Amino acid sequence: MTKTSSMASHLSDQKPDTHSEIKGTSKPLWRKLLPVIVLVVGLVIAWASGVLDLLSFESLRENRDLLQGFVADNPVSSVLVFMGLYVVSVALSLPIGSILTITGGFLFGAFLATSYVVVSATIGATIVYLAARYAFYDLMRAKAGNAVRRMEEGFAENAFSYLMVLRLIPIFPFWLVNLVPALLGVKLRSFVFGTMIGIIPGTFVYSSIGDGLGALFDQGKTPDLGIIFEPRILTPIIGLAVLALLPVAYKKLRKRKIGANADE
């Protein structure tokens, strides 16, 4: 009996402390929230500093010669500065994407500006996506109910198509479309490519406006940021969104057909 008791005591000593292991391997909450905290602090600083007030068409009109001269004298540095500013603005969810894109078209032309903006915006959006996923995804999965899980499964199954639609048609704010896929478990590859391809049409529209901005300034006018909602521009974009949804419709019809055949 003593021998058995001694053996049990020995096994008890050798058994790992599960609670300690979990506590040691799981990251503290503050560390998970750190990327999001950094982005929020950056957003607050940007608003408090008044830097957003400098990004206006009036400011662009007054400094057009200075900016165009800088681009001409520093072709590489100017692109890097522009792309860096764009990445930061998207990562901090600053509401200046449209005017920055128009500025890019004004300084670099429609086609080059579109390429610079698409790359920069995708990088900035991915930063937000990764920060949100790192901070909140595990917590959401732990708290999510069956309805949320079903929505997650449905969105993840057709993530690329849904992201294309959300990026093509600017119904929801850009920052919101950066967050939701992270919380619904969309794969990084689908997020990146869905974002990169989906923002090309809208980006080209605003870059083209910027390409003709000099002529508008000479006439004493400023561009209309709501131009993308005009039927002649929005209609073909909606057409692209419908095409992006065709794979989803095909999958649903195929599942329904297979289900009907199984019932027979």
Measured CA to CA, the distance from residue 181 to residue 240 in angstroms comes to: 21
Measured CA to CA, the distance from residue 70 to residue 64 in angstroms comes to: 10
What are the pLDDT digits (tens) for 210-245?
999 988 888 888 888 888 888 888 888 989 899 888
Nearest in space to 182 (alpha carbons), one of 30, 23, 27, 39: 39
pLDDT of residue 12: 45
Mean pLDDT over 22-40 rounds to 71
Measured CA to CA, the distance from residue 74 to residue 72 in angstroms comes to: 6
Nearest in space to 225 (alpha carbons), one of 43, 118, 96: 96
Out of 13-27, 40-54, 175-189, least confident range: 13-27
Q: Above 70 in pLDDT, residue 2?
A: no
Nearest in space to 90 (alpha carbons), one of 57, 53, 130: 130
Provide the whole-model pTM.
Answer: 0.81
pLDDT of residue 70: 95
pLDDT of residue 20: 38
